Amino acid sequence: MRELADFTVQQDAAGVAVLALVGPYTVAHVADADARLRKLDQPVGRLDLSGVTAIDTVGAWICWRLIRDHGAAVVGQSDEAHRLIDAVSRAESEAPTRPPRLPLISRVPAAVGQRMIDWRDGFIRLLGFMGALLVAFGTVIRHPARFRMTSLVRQVELVGVSSLGIIGLMSYLVAIVIEQQGAVQPRQRHAAPSWVQGPCAGPPHGFRGAPGFPGPR
């Protein structure tokens, strides 16, 4: 049976609440204990880590959160736990995890304006491409010798003739899948009784019928 992280809360002789963590405080074992620790509402004066058998950055963050929120002193920590808790404490940041969201009255006009700007830029690029294409056609018409017929034939060969093999193979495989699905799916979802073969076929001998499905007359 997998060992899970756990904890106990006890009072010492001076009446200080001691929170003792027990078991492996790693990402694979700490989910239940973390949920219960978040609901802990009593103040903790000391955090005992002597019962922690393994710890990773997730467990170190839980320990640091307890130390920060309760102002608890740490006892019984191993060298690895000390290093991880120290690293996690120095990596803490107050920066928001999500960017600020503008109000609806500002967000909608901004989104519409940005979309219009994107359309304008796309239209300008399209005009530029069409203009460059017309210029290229005009240059070829004025100077036919500049047209590279050999390069055109080579590209047609690569894109058309040389790709016929892979196109045929893909078409064959797709046809197999479509044929298999077309044969199996209707049979599984809309299967008719074996005696329904045509307009002249009737129910088997002894068929009494069912509600909404009359039997032989």
- Domain positions in the chain are 6-91
Q: 217 pLDDT exceeds 80?
A: no
Position 196 scores a pLDDT of 47
What residue type is assigned to position 181 of the chain?
Answer: Q
pLDDT grade, residue 190 (50/70/90)? low
List, for residues 149-171, the tens digit of each pLDDT value: 888 899 888 888 888 889 999 99
pLDDT recorded at residue 202: 53
- Which positions ≥6 away from 45 have C-beta within 8 Å? 16, 17, 18, 70, 72, 73
Asked whether the beta carbons of 72 and 46 are under 8 A apart, the reply is: yes
Q: What CATH number does domain 6-91 carry, 2.130.10.10, 3.30.750.24, 3.40.47.10, 3.40.50.2300? A: 3.30.750.24
Which burial class, exposed, middle or buried, applies to 77 when counting CB atoms under 10 A from its CB (0-12, 13-18, 19+)?
A: buried
**Which of 39-43, 75-79, 204-208 ranks highest by mean pLDDT?**
75-79
* Interval 30-66: pLDDT, tens: 999 999 999 888 888 899 999 999 999 999 999 999 9
pLDDT of residue 86 exceeding 70: yes
DSSP β-bridge partners for residue 55: 25
Q: Could you tell me what percent of the chain has a pLDDT over 90?
A: 43
- Strand-pairing partners, residue 46, are 18, 73
Confidence of residue 213 (pLDDT cuts 50, 70, 90): very low
* Confidence at residue 95, expressed as pLDDT on a 0 to 100 scale: 74
Residue 195 has pLDDT above 50, yes or no: no
Q: Over 90: is that where the pLDDT of 119 sits?
A: yes
Strand partners, 115: none
CA geometry: angle 79, 69, 39, nearest 5 deg? 105
pLDDT top residue among 114 and 2: 114
Predicted confidence at residue 205, as pLDDT, reads: 53
Q: How many CB atoms lie within 10 A of CB 183?
A: 9
Query: Taking all residues of the chain, what is their mean pLDDT, rounded to a whole number?
Result: 84
Nearest to 46 by CA among 65, 80, 19: 19
Strands 213-214 and 17-25: unpaired
Q: How far is the C-alpha of 187 from the C-alpha of 181, rounded, in Å?
A: 10
Cα dist from 154 to 57, 145, 188, 215, whole Å: 59, 17, 50, 71
Q: What is the pLDDT of residue 189?
A: 62
Q: Greater confidence, 98 or 78?
A: 78
